[in-house]
Amino acid sequence: MKIYSNQNVNAEQIIPFPDEVHTTELDWWMIYDADTKVITIQPIQCSGYTSSPLTMVIADTEEELEQYIADHALKIGDS
Amino acid sequence: MSFLINPYIFGLDLGFWTNLLFTSGKIVTGFVATFTDALTVNWGDGTTTPLTSGVSVNKTLGTTNGIELENDNAVVTKIICGTSSPRLGGTINLSAFPNLQEFRCNSNDITALSGYAQNSNFKNIQFFDNKVIGSIPSLSALNNLENFYCYSNQLTGSIPSLSGLIRLQNFVCHSNQLTGSIPSLSGLNDLQNFSCLQNQLTGSIPSLSGLGNLRIFYCYSNQLTGSFPSLSGLNSLIDFACYSNQLTGSIPSLSLLSNLRIFRCNNNQLTGTIPNLSGLNNLQFFYCYSNQLTGSIPNLSQTTDLIDFRCNNNQLTGSIPYLRDCFFLENFVCYSNQLTGLIPNLSGAYVRSFYCYSNQLTGFAGENVSGYISNSLGDFRAENNLLTANAVNAILAAFVLANKTTGTRILNLGGTGNASPTGQGITDKATLISRGWTVTTN
C-alpha cells in the first residue's frame, strides 16, 4: 500500500483526481464521483497506472472498500 | 338463497370496486360497486340495500363481521376486487359460489383462501401478492382451469399435480416457500407460461416435450438438480430461465427455437459447450456465465438481434467471434475464461460495455485500421490479458478517434500480462483523460 498525503485515519486512501496513481496486483481500488456518489468502477484488484477526473479509493482488502461504500452511502452506477 | 361472504365481501358478477377499505378483519368505510344482476345486500348492521343490474351503491359501513347477499336467482360467476388501502385482509371461503368461473383478488393482505378446489367451473383463479399461508390444494377437479396465479404469497408444501388440466395456459406460483419437485407438465398442450421461480424446489426440471405453445418457463432461484430437459419442438418458446440452481450436464440444442428471445442458464454447474446459436434470429439475451463450460464461443453472425451476451466465468477457449453483425449489441461479457486471439471490431452503434478481462487475449482487430470502436462504448475492460504494446496503442487510438465525451468513460488495459503503451499511445491516454475518461494502463 502506498502512502498519500491525504491519508485518513482509516486504512483506505482517498485520492481526488488521481494522476497516474500506481496500484499493485494486491491493492483493491475503486472509482466514484464525489458529487453524485455514484461508483463508476466497483472494487477491483488490478495493477497499473490510473488517471481519472473522479475520486479513487485504494485499500488493502475488498471489505475495507465495502465499508467505505456503506459509510459514505455510495451508489452503484449504471454503465 | 343467500350467500354469506365471511368475513369480507368483494365484488361479484362483473362488479368492480373503486373504493373498498378494509383493515384487519373489519370493514371500516366505503363500499362502491356495480352489479349486473339483481341482488340484495345485507350489510351486517341490520340494513339492506336492493341492487338491480347496473346500479352502483355507495355505502359507508360500521364494523361488521360479514355481508350477506340475497337473490334466489343470482348466479355469481365472477368475483373481482381491486387493491384497497388499507389492503383487504382476512380469510376467504368461496364454497358459497358454486358457479364461480373467475376469482381475482390480487395485491391485498388475504391470509387464507379456500372453497375453490372442487369447483370445476373455475377458469381463472388469481390471488397473487397477498399473505396466503398453507399449501395449494389439489387442483385435479378443476378441469376447466386456464389460469392460476398465486405468486408472491407465503405458500408452503408442494406444487400439486397438474395432470389432466388440459386447458391450463398460465400457472404462476413464484416467490413462495414451496418445496418438493416440479410436477409433470406432460399433456398440458395449451400451457403458455409456467413460472415457479424463487421457491425452494428440488428435483429436476420435468420433460417439456410436446409443450408446443410454451412461451415462458421460469424455474430460476430454486435448488433444482439433474440435467436439462430437451427443448426440441418448443417452437413458441420466447423466454427460458433456469439460472441459480444446481443443474448439471450440458445445455441442450437450441436450434429451431426461432422465437427464443431470452435464454438464461447462468450460475449452475453445467458442462459441455455453448450450443450453436445460428438461426436464432430473435435472440436478444443469452446468459450462460458462472458454469463450467468448455469449447469456444459460437458464431454470432446470425444472431443479429443480440443485445446482451454473457459467458464469463467458464473455461472457454478459442477466440471471441465476429460481433459486427450484431447490430443491436449493447453488452458483451466474456471475462475470466481462457480466450485467445484478438479483441474484435466493436464499432456497433449501440455497444456500451465490453468486458474481456482475465483471458489470454493478445491483440486488437483494429491495430491497422481505424473505426473499430464505437463512440457509444464507454466501459471497456481488458485488464489481465496478454495484449501487446501495438494492441494497447491501437485500442487507445481507437477510443481517441471514437471521441466519446459524455456518459460513462472507463478504459482498463492494466493488470498482469498487458504491455504498457508507448509513443503515441501515451499521448492518446492523456487525450482520453482530458476528455473525462478514467484510464488504467501498465
DSSP string, B141-189: T-TT--EEE--SSEEESBPPP-TT-TT--EEE--SS--BS-PPP-TT-T
- Residue B267 identity (one-letter amino acid): N
Nearest CA in chain A to B381: A41
For residue B352, list chain A residues with Cβ-Cβ distance below 8 A.
79
**Which pLDDT does position B423 carry in this prediction?**
97
Give the SS3 label for residue B13. Answer: coil
Residue B23 pLDDT level (bands cut at 50, 70, 90): very low
Give the minimum alpha-carbon distance from B433 to chain A in angstroms, rounded to a whole number.
Answer: 6
B440 and A48 in contact by Cβ < 8 A? yes
Please report the sign of the dihedral spanned by the C-alpha atoms of residue B347, residue B405, residue B308, residue B368: positive
B117 sits in the region (left: phi over 0; alpha: psi -120 to 50; else beta) called: alpha
Per-domain residue ranges for chain A?
A: 13-76
What pLDDT sits at residue B348?
85
User: What are the Cα distances from residue B19, in Å, to A42, B16, B179, B302?
Assistant: 47, 9, 37, 53
Q: Using the beta-carbon criterion (under 8 Å), do B416 and A41 form an inter-chain contact? A: no
Residues of chain B found within 8 Å of residue A54, distances taken between Cβ atoms: 438
The pLDDT confidence band at residue B37, using thresholds 50, 70 and 90, is: very low
Whether the per-residue pLDDT at B311 is higher than 60: the answer is yes
Residue B114 sits at the vertex; the CA angle it makes with B10 and B29, to the nearest 5 degrees, is 25
- Average pLDDT of every residue of chain B: 85
Reply yes or no on whether the pLDDT at A19 is more than 70: yes
Angle between the N-to-C axes of helices B389-402 and B424-434, in degrees from 0 to 180, rounded to the nearest 10: 40
Asked if A24 reaches chain B (Cβ–Cβ under 8 Å), the answer is no
Is there a contact between A46 and B442 if contact means CB atoms under 8 Å apart? no
Structure confidence by residue, pLDDT tens digits, B371-391? 899 999 999 999 999 999 999
Instruction: Please check whether residue B196 is in contact with residue B215, taking contact to mean a CB–CB distance below 8 angstroms.
Output: no
Subunit contact B416:A53, Cβ cutoff 8 A = no
- What tens digit of pLDDT does each residue of A45-55 get? 999 999 999 99
Tell me the average pLDDT across B55-70. Answer: 42
User: Across the interface, which of B352, B413, B438 has its CB nearest the CB of A31?
Assistant: B438
Provide ipTM, 2 decimals. Answer: 0.88
DSSP secondary structure string for all residues of B89-155: EEEEE-TT-TT--EEEE-SSEEEEEES-TT-TT--EEE--SS--EEEPPP-TT-TT--EEE--SSEE
Question: Quick one: what percent of chain B has pLDDT higher than 70?
Answer: 80
Q: What is the pLDDT of residue B109?
A: 81
**How far is residue B21 from each of residues B25, B89, B152, B395, measured CA to CA in Å?**
11, 10, 22, 63
What is the sign, positive or negative, of the torsion defined by CA atoms of B301, B302, B306, B310? negative
Interchain contact, B415 vs A46, CB within 8 Å: yes
Which residues of chain A have a CB within 8 Å of the CB of B437? 52
**How many angstroms separate the CA of residue A29 from the nearest CA in chain B?**
12
Indicate the SS3 state at residue A73.
coil
